[in-house]
Amino acid sequence: MKALIQRVSKASVSVDGEVISSIGTGLCVLIGIKRDDGVADMKYIIRKILNAKIFEDDKGKKWNASVKDKKYEILCISQFTLYYVLKGNKLSFHRAMPAQESEIFYMNFITELREQYVPELIKDGKFGAKMEVSIQNSGPVTLEIVSQKTSDSNVENEETSD
């Protein structure tokens, strides 16, 4: 599982020209689900989204507060293209979980995220729809979190750190 986390001043998602979800200050998170992802991957990604210290704290100290600490909003958008493979110049998405399975997994992810945070602060797009996403980045700050240990993981000491 992969999360592309962006710190935002505001973000919204539209389907067929109509805004279906929007947030103020918080995180816009693009969620990629891999074929073999499971509950452990989901819980890991949720923990990182909620606890990554990417905001200033109340005393102005940078990189010292999480979205959870600040009680900010989160906009989640399913994005199968995060699991692309380039074959020459052609894109392949064979590493992504198939749509029917992925939709169930994604909805379970949103449910679990709401259970671990404040439900009304979690917004999402429309699974499988052609969406337009408007993001006003703050910073900009963008993090890529990958749940399974890979050679390109950006997280050190995963067992001991939050």
pLDDT per position as a tens digit, 105-139 = 999 999 999 999 999 999 999 998 999 999 999 99
> Taking the C-alpha atoms of 59, 72, 102 and 19 in order, what is their torsion angle to the nearest 10 degrees?
-140
Domain membership flag for residue 90: yes
pLDDT higher than 50, residue 4: yes
Domain membership flag for residue 91: yes
> How many other C-beta atoms can be found within 10 angstroms of the C-beta atom of residue 8?
26
Domain membership flag for residue 42: yes
Domain membership flag for residue 13: yes
Q: What is the mean pLDDT of residues 8-17?
A: 98
Range of the domain at 110: 2-146
pLDDT higher than 70, residue 92: yes
| pTM, full prediction | 0.90
pLDDT of res. 16: 96
pLDDT of res. 102: 96
Percent of the chain surpassing pLDDT 70: 91
Domain membership flag for residue 30: yes
Domain membership flag for residue 79: yes
Return the CATH number at 51: 3.50.80.10
Domain count, the chain: 1
Domain membership flag for residue 65: yes
pLDDT of res. 148: 76
Q: How confident is residue 151, by pLDDT bands cut at 50, 70 and 90?
A: very low
> How many other C-beta atoms can be found within 10 angstroms of the C-beta atom of residue 64?
14
Q: What is the mean pLDDT of residues 3-32?
A: 98
Helices vs strands, H then E, count in the chain: 3, 8
pLDDT of res. 118: 98
> Taking the C-alpha atoms of 122, 25, 63 and 115 in order, what is their torsion angle to the nearest 10 degrees?
-10
Average predicted confidence (pLDDT) for the chain: 93
Domain membership flag for residue 159: no
